[in-house]
Chains A and B, each alone.
Chain A
Amino acid sequence: MGRTAMSAGRVVGAATAVALVLGVSACGSSGSGDSAKAGGGFTYWSMWRSDEPQAKVLTAAIADFTAGTGIKVNVNWVGRDIAKKIGPAIAANQAPDLWDESDDNVYGATASAGQALDLSPVLEMQVPGENVPVSQVIPAKYFDMEPKDPSGGTHYVIPYEVATNAMFYNAADPAITAAMPTPPTDWAGLLKVCDALKAAGKACVASEGEDPWSNELFFDYLLNGAGVNVAQLAADKSGAAWDNPAVLAAAKQVDQLVKGGYLIPGYDATKYPAQETNWASGKAAFYMDGNYVTSEVAKEVPSSWKMSSLLPPTAKVPDATLFGFAIPKRAKHIDAAEQFIAYFMQKKEMIGISTTALNITPRADIPAPAELAGAQQALNSPTVRQTFDGAAGSWRPKVLDQNYLDFWHGKTTPEQFVAKCKADQVSYWQTQG
């Protein structure tokens, strides 16, 4: 009997423990929920993790903002998955009052469905302490390139960081300066540079063969050079846009890179960031990526490295990716969130994106970090365009990516690539709707 009594005691003990833990966890979650709903504040979901430099800059700004205005900011450092989570969160009526992502994600996930707030009022607001409206410090060209949301607006994202994609290289590398005394002006010129590099025993282009996006940038820029708008190409439900000879011509130029053996050997047998590492250790001359690549490899490159960049020669307009704030239409504390956006547009706050996070800001009066001076120069172009001209959503994964990888790995010819994309695009549009 004594034994059973003890066991019963143990059972009761275990049950109590369960109840306790449940209670504690319930308290924990309701507690944080309450603070999120506290009046006078707003919630902010960030694309950064709290340990990233951008997060540190934003954290400092939030502290200043709260000290100055008394408005509390409830930050949730979500990380990159935010682009997948914002839609469902809005659907569930749990949208934050403010969030940030790249412009294509803001458009695709919210603005295209009419779920992003028009931020034109923010552009009218004064930048605290600077006596000018926000529209004065953020160039209009960044909004002009954006696709329109259902109500025709393009002011659904206010950028605090911009990036451009280009071919990055080390201008202090003698092998590269020997092969390329002046930047090439046409595609053949680039191939000539590649030949010279090859002769000198250096691979021309380092490429992560498994990553469709960065490799497609070549195609994107070549199409741009040939006057083809990728978004229009993607939007053609009949697929006929692929019959444009300029598209095939661009594909053939890409093919020259592949078949010419200008891509670093083994590029199709590794995983990111193996080739980025090879490039950073000087095994290849060029690496196509966003200018944030300088931050990605900052700890790897030697101090003698001099970061420079160039666009694929025929490209007319540099692309720009905006990283900025957006407000869901269903947000509950719009005023406070808008105030914070305007607050962060101050030079003294935004400058951290350049000095701490080592990236480019949309404000022309904030100099980019030295290694990105060239990229900022490119962005000073009177017009900019979106990467892939803003072709967003599942078109790339479902139509372009797979076919492009096959093509990039040399398994299909330019003709086959174009035909396959056309066919896949037709069935893609049949299943949308």
Chain B
Amino acid sequence: MRIGTTAVWLLVAADLLLVLWIFLTSLRGGSDILKHGFSLPTSPRFGNYATALDQGGFAQAALNSVLTAVVSSLVAVVLAAPCAYALARRRSRTSSALTMTFAMGLGVPGQVLVVPLFVGLAKLDLTDSDLGLALVYVGLAMPFTVFLLTGFFSGIPAVLEEAAVLDGAGPLRAFVQVVLPVARGGLITAFLLQFITNWNETLFAIVLTNSQSKVTLPVALAEFVAAQQFNGLDYGTMFAGVCIILAPMIALFSWMGTRIIQGMTVGIGK
């Protein structure tokens, strides 16, 4: 047991050191990093961040990432919540068939959808557009969000709406005014998980966007790395870019870590 505990702490230390190293490296000069991958910044160069944000295009990319991730996650939750609620409450053959249909989507890998979605969006003139990308993310979010929220609504006692309906409230009002407030926790979790997924999503972002004014952070990073051929790469700036991708995840995780973990894990245990 002692060995196991030590191993766990070593692993924990390695994880923390890795993040620390990435941060420290983002404050160093490019050629310095290439020569000595591991040393402390002699004098912290916060200028790397300015360069990354401005010339590296990471500021625009971060804005695009935030916009697409927030909008698509919000829309996904708004669409999925009533659906999940109806599926959770109504027990009929149609209902379980629909639940199954949504659950099946969980098993579809993104590479199946990438070509059709590209062709389809191109027809609508929605490639290289954050709106198009957000739309795709809403679609991709449906199976998981419906699945998660169905489980969640099932856990809310039906007594509440029964009382509301007896009071003469319509179904929509009962849902919006009685159920949703109680379900707030689940909705926030669903939103957070979707936000995290979209923030890190790379395959569709690479395929669907290309101009520097439209790309999201993962694409900006990939493109930035690719440009090292022909013109060399400032590794300090690149690590600053990595930190820009990591920072919101670290912030979110330290703020609502427990909720994220519970949402990503317990929702699964069904």
**Chains A and B share a contact (CB less than 8 Å):** yes
Query: Which residues of A does B touch, CB under 8 Å?
Result: 3-5, 7-8, 11, 14-15, 17-18, 21-22, 25-26, 28-29, 32-33, 45, 48-54, 76-82, 85, 88-89, 91-94, 272-274, 277, 281, 290, 292, 295-300
Question: What is the CA–CA distance of A52 and B230 in the complex, to the nearest angstrom?
Answer: 10
Q: How far is the CB of B231 from chain A (nearest CB, A)?
A: 5
Among A5, A15, A297, A300, max chain B CB count under 10 A is at A300
Beyond known contacts A8-B176, A78-B210, A91-B119: 19 more, CB 8 A cutoff: A4-B177, A7-B180, A11-B176, A17-B74, A21-B67, A21-B71, A22-B71, A25-B131, A25-B134, A48-B227, A49-B224, A79-B212, A80-B223, A92-B119, A92-B127, A272-B228, A273-B228, A292-B229, A299-B232
Q: Could you count the A-B residue pairs with CB atoms below 8 Å apart for me: how many are there?
A: 133
The listed residue (A17, A28, A48) touching B130 by CB distance below 8 A is: A28
The listed residue (B70, B123, B212) touching A77 by CB distance below 8 A is: B212
- Please state if B232 and A50 are interface contacts (CB–CB under 8 Å): no
Are A85 and B210 also in contact (CB < 8 A) when A94-B125, A296-B232 are? yes
Are A7 and B122 also in contact (CB < 8 A) when A25-B71, A49-B57 are? no
Q: How far is the CB of B223 from chain A (nearest CB, A)?
A: 4
- Please state if B232 and A49 are interface contacts (CB–CB under 8 Å): no
Interchain residue pairs with CB less than 8 A apart (9): A25-B134, A29-B126, A81-B226, A82-B210, A92-B123, A94-B127, A274-B34, A296-B229, A300-B34
B75 proximal to A (CB < 8 A)? yes
Question: What is the CA–CA distance of A45 and B210 in the complex, to the nearest angstrom?
Answer: 10
Question: What is the CA–CA distance of A277 and B224 in the complex, to the nearest angstrom?
Answer: 19
Question: What is the CA–CA distance of A14 and B191 in the complex, to the nearest angstrom?
Answer: 13
Question: What is the CA–CA distance of A78 and B34 in the complex, to the nearest angstrom?
Answer: 27
B219-237 CB mask vs A (1 if < 8 Å, else 0) is 0001110111111111000
Are A80 and B57 also in contact (CB < 8 A) when A21-B67, A22-B71, A94-B125 are? no
Q: How far is the CB of B154 from chain A (nearest CB, A)?
A: 21
Question: What is the CA–CA distance of A356 and B123 in the complex, to the nearest angstrom?
Answer: 40
A3: nearest chain-B partner, CB-CB: B181
B117-142 CB mask vs A (1 if < 8 Å, else 0) is 01100110111111110100000000
Are A79 and B227 also in contact (CB < 8 A) when A21-B67, A50-B57, A91-B122 are? yes
B55 proximal to A (CB < 8 A)? yes
- Please state if B34 and A292 are interface contacts (CB–CB under 8 Å): no
B241 proximal to A (CB < 8 A)? no
B181: nearest chain-A partner, CB-CB: A7
- Please state if B122 and A88 are interface contacts (CB–CB under 8 Å): yes
B72-97 CB mask vs A (1 if < 8 Å, else 0) is 00110010000000000000000000
Question: What is the CA–CA distance of A4 and B211 in the complex, to the nearest angstrom?
Answer: 45
Among B30, B55, B67, B229, max chain A CB count under 10 A is at B229
- Please state if B129 and A29 are interface contacts (CB–CB under 8 Å): yes
B156 proximal to A (CB < 8 A)? no
Query: Which residues of B does A touch, CB under 8 Å?
Result: 30-31, 34-35, 55-57, 67, 70-71, 74-75, 78, 118-119, 122-123, 125-132, 134, 176-178, 180-181, 206-207, 210-213, 222-224, 226-234
- A-B pairs, top 5 by smallest CB distance, nearest first, are A92-B122, A51-B55, A296-B232, A79-B223, A76-B211
Query: What chain B residues lie within 8 Å of A277 (beta carbons)?
Result: 31, 34-35
Among A3, A21, A81, max chain B CB count under 10 A is at A81
Query: What chain B residues lie within 8 Å of A92 (beta carbons)?
Result: 118-119, 122-123, 127
Q: How far is the CB of B70 from chain A (nearest CB, A)?
A: 7
A295: nearest chain-B partner, CB-CB: B231
Question: What is the CA–CA distance of A94 and B121 in the complex, to the nearest angstrom?
Answer: 11
Q: How far is the CB of A12 from chain B (nearest CB, A)?
A: 9
- Please state if A77 and B211 are interface contacts (CB–CB under 8 Å): yes
Among A7, A51, A272, A277, max chain B CB count under 10 A is at A51
The listed residue (B74, B177, B178) touching A18 by CB distance below 8 A is: B74
Question: What is the CA–CA distance of A295 and B234 in the complex, to the nearest angstrom?
Answer: 12
Query: What chain B residues lie within 8 Å of A51 (beta carbons)?
Result: 55-57
Are A76 and B176 also in contact (CB < 8 A) when A25-B130, A81-B223, A296-B229 are? no
The listed residue (A14, A49, A93, A273) touching B34 by CB distance below 8 A is: A273
- Please state if B212 and A300 are interface contacts (CB–CB under 8 Å): no
Question: What is the CA–CA distance of A295 and B181 in the complex, to the nearest angstrom?
Answer: 59
Query: What chain A residues lie within 8 Å of B128 (beta carbons)?
Result: 94
Query: What chain B residues lie within 8 Å of A15 (beta carbons)?
Result: 78
Q: How far is the CB of B25 from chain A (nearest CB, A)?
A: 15
Q: How far is the CB of A322 from chain B (nearest CB, A)?
A: 13
A359: nearest chain-B partner, CB-CB: B230
Query: What chain A residues lie within 8 Å of B226 (beta carbons)?
Result: 79-81
Are A81 and B181 also in contact (CB < 8 A) when A18-B78, A22-B75, A49-B57 are? no
B115: nearest chain-A partner, CB-CB: A88
Question: What is the CA–CA distance of A8 and B234 in the complex, to the nearest angstrom?
Answer: 51
B123: nearest chain-A partner, CB-CB: A92
Question: What is the CA–CA distance of A289 and B82 in the complex, to the nearest angstrom?
Answer: 59
Q: How far is the CB of B114 from chain A (nearest CB, A)?
A: 11
The listed residue (B118, B207, B210, B224) touching A76 by CB distance below 8 A is: B210
Question: What is the CA–CA distance of A33 and B214 in the complex, to the nearest angstrom?
Answer: 12
Are A94 and B180 also in contact (CB < 8 A) when A25-B130, A296-B229 are? no
